[in-house]
Chain A
Amino acid sequence: MSEKPGSGRSGFDRRAFIAGAAGSALVPMTARAATQDASVSAAQDPALPVDVTLRVNGKDKRLHIDARTTVLDALREHLKLTGSKKGCDHGQCGACTVLIDDRRVVSCLTLALAAEGQEITTIEGLATDDHLHPMQQAFVDNDAFQCGYCTPGQIMSAVACVKEGHAGSEADIREYMSGNICRCAAYPNIVAAVKQAAPEIMKG
């Protein structure tokens, strides 16, 4: 993949760019790690924990975690927000879907560090007080789940699907909800739920 020097392409050096980007990303981590363990810098030992502040469901959460921690593991293992589920850890099943700045994201493929400063919304942040979100209510009404394990991811995905404008037809809903696997195969009920909730979500 490396570019041949003098191959006539632009002067852009990919390797230098990657090194530079990684280097600049490491700066704040180094600074933070240094306060924890002055004897070893993070540049030497990337396994040292780092400080991260995540904004989850409207609240700032300070964490001291392994730099490789994903948003999913940060939520589940460190913030005790276990609604988001691990089904594959590879971005293949959608069970871990959360909203980051209102976009649906597979949290298993997103590093916690990369989500700093962004607004993370999980299934736990969807209901207000005692009221279910219209999408949650629609899932109840249409029996859009069986074992329930994929459900938090389905619901987060469904909320985004509506807001993206992809809930205009059943065919659209099926297509844009296909990143979330339901092994119990509640699919027709999920489509019905999204259809039911869409007008209310667009209104409100």
Chain B
Amino acid sequence: MTAAAPEPKANMGQPVPRYDAAAKVTGRATYASDMPLDNPAYAFLVTSAIAKGRIDGFDLDDARGVRGVIDIVTHENAPKLKESKLFSNGGYAGTTIQPLKSADIAHDGEIIAVVIAESYEAAREAANRVKVSYTAVAPSASFDSPGTTTAAAKGQNSQFKEDPEVGDFAKAFDQAEVKLTASYDTPTQHHNPMELFTTSCAWMGDNLVIYEGSQYVYGLKNGVAEQLGIDADKVRVVNPYVGGGFGSRGSMTPRTAIIAGIAKRLNRPIKLVPTRDQGFTIATYRAETRHEIRLGAGRDGKLAALRHEGSEVSSRPDAYCVGGTKTTTRLYACPNVSSLVSIVRADRNTPGFMRSPPEVPYLFALESAMDELAVKLNMDPVELRRINDTTVEPIGGKPYTSRSLMACFDEAAKAFGWSQRSPQPKSMSDGDWLVGYGCAATCYPTQMAPSAARVRLQRDGRTRVEIAGHEIGTGAYTVIAQTASERLGVPLEKVAVFVGDSDLPPAPVAGGSNSTASTCSAVMMVCDQIRQRLFKAVMPGDSLADKAKETVGISQTPSTQAAKSDRPLDLDKAFDALGVGVVEEYGEWKPEGAPLDSFAAMHSGHARLVGGHSMKYKIAYAFGAEFVEVRVDRFTHEIRAPRLVGAFAAGRIMNPRTARSQLMGGLIWGMSSALLEATEIDERNARYVNDNLADYLVPVNADVPGVEVILLSEQDDHINPAGVKGLGELANVGTNAAICNAIYHATGQRIRKLPVRLENIEV
């Protein structure tokens, strides 16, 4: 076993290499903009240079004069599109700002024209020659700008139903022996997946094919159909590989229906490859947030009072918020809790999900505050978490289905060498480096959504699994193939998996870390339907059939317990008895507690996620603990994070290889959110300044010397049939707090605003 393929522990699958590995290392994996098109025309976007106001007019003569230009589409001649509601209000869209609809401008970088030409080069040149005259109005950029409006999230965002509270916070805080009040800020961030926000649209008569990287092909298919006013069955979204999502491709952006409409009008396939900087404004992002935390505790460290106020920026028309208080008010035992989330509206594009949307900013606040409280108590921060650990969440009194938080702390602390830490700030150094150790908890809700699947088994054991899931780098192909292989008892190399196509049976959005739990539970169920059919064929009327299907293998593969049973099923005999060449089954699975309309919603592109804190009698989360070593140069103030160690427990680990890789990437994301990433905003113009990969800092290889991921065994029979807790968004939570806690330990300076740059250090 290599580091990349850890030895499986109890309740873990095999660390088999990725199903799509060969395709990805040879360049054969085809992403959306790699799809061949028949004589495409090329689109290039023109985006607004003002954030608020009106377009007075275009001068297009120069642009039209460019050789090869076919058409220039503005609000004056754009295809008429129907509105789509925000995804959280029953629609599909990530924004209700619809470009090219009128002369009004709602945010900087809004699409204001689309140039179509015979070549990419001509489209780009003509786009640069489009002249626009505006009447600009001073925009509101962010929290401190004049002209914003602020209101409580509750009541305006249908997915934010309550500000969690319990007991009497005010009284308990007032009486607490030890008190902490502190404010924390997190910055604007952009996902910047490596694949650009490309869209290709091709019509065949009335049927539309869309090649676009999407985390929800059913949502996009139905959303575009709604905007075009056509039957959703006539729209197909195809993306067998997606070049990174991180939330940016979870909801529909306006570009897709615009390109589809233009392709229809020109009767020609259109290929759009937006630029990297356009990606900052034509899709979503993580909005900046502000927090105030109040903690009251006894001298023994027991929390008596907790209040978390969060404030988030959104666009003028859309009340998007992440509302992470649903998690931070339930993480620790505390009898008196209150909270409030507010939304501040500014002249910005609408924000959206970005990897662990609520937990990254909200746990930064809470886990920083816990460290500050530990300092006030003169207590080890790990012990403070242990004292306040709980198996029951305090708001509704519901039990956690499983919770390995302290086991994670203990494993990670051991691997990290936490016992070597001298608790006093500025007490550890190495030459010019001030050395600090810090830690934080992480958690992420376990979520599931209805999913369908189709599985076909041939008599030679070859198996085909079809499900409109999404391969965004998570290992979807691999874990689905492993699930079918194990459940049917056929060799892994005989399983073919098809995802990323809205003509396949519906799967939910690849968001909220629900994919593995949902798709694998559906595939397991459908494989069981196949087993049942085969057994009924050879044991007609036999009441033993039901029992047998659970205990009897159906092939000679020795890899599963079922196959090793003393009553292997003779596949040939079963197929002869059925009188067929293939057995194919389709099935629809839904999680316990899913609403009644779940399956209908699933087919129309609405994923009804259940889980986390929203279940009736229980609460389900995955947990982890992260330890970091930070080094701050006492003269230059250069900050480095040479060691990141995380231990995680997330129910059944389908594949320790793909799980470790996701958690490793998550830890690096967490480091990045503390030390590197921020979209800088020009306050005067409400404009993103560093909208490229040289100035928007993401980690490169040299930033990441040491990362260690520890997978803990955990079994949870109360979540879903696969026993899986999603972990794709677990590891990048809390890391930002752990790093600031380590910086405090290294330097004695508490930093409450991210990202931390060397100019923020005042040693």
Known contacts A47-B125, A123-B26, A143-B5, A92 near B694 by CB under 8 Å: yes
B693 touching A189 by the CB < 8 A rule?
no
A188 in complex: contacting residue of B17, B193, B692, B704, CB < 8 Å: B704
Q: Which among A69, A85, A177 has the greatest number of chain B C-beta atoms within 10 A?
A: A85
Would you give the 0/1 interface string for B130-164, flagging 1 where the beta carbon is closer than 8 Å to chain A? 00000000000000000000000000000000000
| A155 close to B (CB within 8 Å) | yes
CB distance from B656 to the nearest CB of A (A): 10
CB distance from A143 to the nearest CB of B (A): 4
In chain B, residues 5-33, which have Cβ atoms closer than 8 Å to a Cβ of chain A? Answer: 5, 17-18, 20-31, 33
Give Cα A179 to B456, complex, Å. 44
A146 in complex: contacting residue of B28, B275, B474, CB < 8 Å: B474
| A90 close to B (CB within 8 Å) | yes
| B244 close to A (CB within 8 Å) | yes
| B396 close to A (CB within 8 Å) | no
| A147 close to B (CB within 8 Å) | yes
Would you give the 0/1 interface string for B711-738, flagging 1 where the beta carbon is closer than 8 Å to chain A? 0000000000000000000000000000
B24 touching A143 by the CB < 8 A rule?
no
Q: Which residues of A contact B25 (CB under 8 A)?
A: 123, 132, 136-137, 139-140, 145, 151, 155
Give Cα A27 to B31, complex, Å. 39
Known contacts A47-B68, A189-B4, A183 near B21 by CB under 8 Å: no
In chain A, residues 8-38, which have Cβ atoms closer than 8 Å to a Cβ of chain B? Answer: none
A174 touching B704 by the CB < 8 A rule?
yes
CB distance from A56 to the nearest CB of B (A): 12
B194 in complex: contacting residue of A48, A69, A76, A87, CB < 8 Å: A87
A88 touching B693 by the CB < 8 A rule?
yes
* Minimal Cβ-Cβ distance residue in B for A68: B121
| B699 close to A (CB within 8 Å) | yes
A66 touching B119 by the CB < 8 A rule?
yes
CB distance from B409 to the nearest CB of A (A): 23
Q: Which residues of B contact A151 (CB under 8 A)?
A: 24-25
In chain B, residues 606-627, which have Cβ atoms closer than 8 Å to a Cβ of chain A? Answer: none
In chain B, residues 310-330, which have Cβ atoms closer than 8 Å to a Cβ of chain A? Answer: none
Q: Which residues of A contact B589 (CB under 8 A)?
A: none
Known contacts A84-B27, A185-B665, A147 near B704 by CB under 8 Å: no
Give Cα A175 to B702, complex, Å. 5
Q: Which residues of B contact A150 (CB under 8 A)?
A: 194
Known contacts A145-B24, A146-B474, A185-B704, A93 near B2 by CB under 8 Å: no
* Minimal Cβ-Cβ distance residue in A for B17: A140
Q: Which among B30, B67, B194, B693 has the greatest number of chain A C-beta atoms within 10 A?
A: B194
CB distance from B3 to the nearest CB of A (A): 6
A124 touching B27 by the CB < 8 A rule?
yes
Known contacts A93-B693, A123-B27, A188 near B122 by CB under 8 Å: no
A48 touching B694 by the CB < 8 A rule?
no
A147 touching B244 by the CB < 8 A rule?
yes
* Minimal Cβ-Cβ distance residue in B for A47: B67
Give Cα A123 to B24, complex, Å. 10
CB distance from A144 to the nearest CB of B (A): 8
Known contacts A66-B119, A187-B704, A92 near B34 by CB under 8 Å: no
* Minimal Cβ-Cβ distance residue in B for A146: B473
In chain B, residues 155-205, which have Cβ atoms closer than 8 Å to a Cβ of chain A? Answer: 192-196
| A191 close to B (CB within 8 Å) | yes
Q: Which residues of A contact B749 (CB under 8 A)?
A: none
| B647 close to A (CB within 8 Å) | no
CB distance from B705 to the nearest CB of A (A): 7
Interface size class of B (residues with CB under 8 A): 35 or more
| A41 close to B (CB within 8 Å) | no
Q: Count A-B contacts at CB 8 Å.
A: 198
In chain A, residues 54-97, which have Cβ atoms closer than 8 Å to a Cβ of chain B? Answer: 65-66, 68-69, 73, 76-77, 80-90, 92-93, 95
A186 touching B665 by the CB < 8 A rule?
yes
B31 touching A149 by the CB < 8 A rule?
yes
A85 touching B31 by the CB < 8 A rule?
yes
Q: Which residues of A contact B246 (CB under 8 A)?
A: 183
B120 touching A147 by the CB < 8 A rule?
no
Q: Which residues of A contact B693 (CB under 8 A)?
A: 87-88, 90, 92-93, 181
Q: Which among B5, B68, B244 has the greatest number of chain A C-beta atoms within 10 A?
A: B244
A189 touching B661 by the CB < 8 A rule?
yes
In chain A, residues 117-170, which have Cβ atoms closer than 8 Å to a Cβ of chain B? Answer: 122-124, 126-127, 132, 136-137, 139-152, 155
* Minimal Cβ-Cβ distance residue in A for B667: A185
| B335 close to A (CB within 8 Å) | no
| B413 close to A (CB within 8 Å) | no
| B664 close to A (CB within 8 Å) | yes
In chain B, residues 533-587, which have Cβ atoms closer than 8 Å to a Cβ of chain A? Answer: none
B699 touching A187 by the CB < 8 A rule?
yes
* Minimal Cβ-Cβ distance residue in B for A153: B194
| A173 close to B (CB within 8 Å) | yes
| B273 close to A (CB within 8 Å) | yes
B26 touching A149 by the CB < 8 A rule?
no
A47 in complex: contacting residue of B18, B66, B196, B672, CB < 8 Å: B66
Q: Which among A136, A150, A188, A191 has the greatest number of chain B C-beta atoms within 10 A?
A: A188
Give Cα A140 to B657, complex, Å. 11
Known contacts A86-B33, A174-B702, A183 near B27 by CB under 8 Å: no
A143 in complex: contacting residue of B4, B120, B196, B242, CB < 8 Å: B4
Q: Which residues of A contact B70 (CB under 8 A)?
A: none
B27 touching A82 by the CB < 8 A rule?
yes
* Minimal Cβ-Cβ distance residue in B for A150: B194
Give Cα A191 to B26, complex, Å. 19
| B419 close to A (CB within 8 Å) | no
Known contacts A146-B474, A146-B661, A89 near B26 by CB under 8 Å: no
Q: Which residues of A contact B28 (CB under 8 A)?
A: 83
Give Cα A51 to B67, complex, Å. 17
| B338 close to A (CB within 8 Å) | no
* Minimal Cβ-Cβ distance residue in B for A88: B276
A142 touching B4 by the CB < 8 A rule?
yes
B17 touching A85 by the CB < 8 A rule?
no
Would you give the 0/1 interface string for B237-261, flagging 1 where the beta carbon is closer than 8 Å to chain A? 0000111111000000000000000
B67 touching A45 by the CB < 8 A rule?
yes
B194 touching A147 by the CB < 8 A rule?
yes
Give Cα A77 to B661, complex, Å. 33
A143 touching B17 by the CB < 8 A rule?
yes
Q: Which residues of B contact A137 (CB under 8 A)?
A: 25
| B668 close to A (CB within 8 Å) | yes
Residue positions of A touching B, CB distance < 8 A = 45, 47-48, 65-66, 68-69, 73, 76-77, 80-90, 92-93, 95, 122-124, 126-127, 132, 136-137, 139-152, 155, 171, 173-175, 177-192
Q: A148-B20, A189-B4 are in contact. List 11 more A-B contacts (CB 8 A).
A: A48-B67, A81-B27, A90-B693, A92-B276, A95-B194, A127-B26, A140-B18, A141-B2, A143-B661, A147-B195, A149-B31
Top 5 nearest A-B pairs (CB, nearest first) are A83-B27, A147-B473, A149-B243, A146-B473, A148-B24
16 A-B residue pairs with Cβ-Cβ distance under 8 Å, sorted by A, are A47-B68, A68-B125, A73-B120, A82-B34, A85-B195, A89-B275, A141-B4, A143-B658, A147-B193, A147-B473, A148-B20, A148-B473, A171-B705, A178-B702, A185-B672, A186-B664
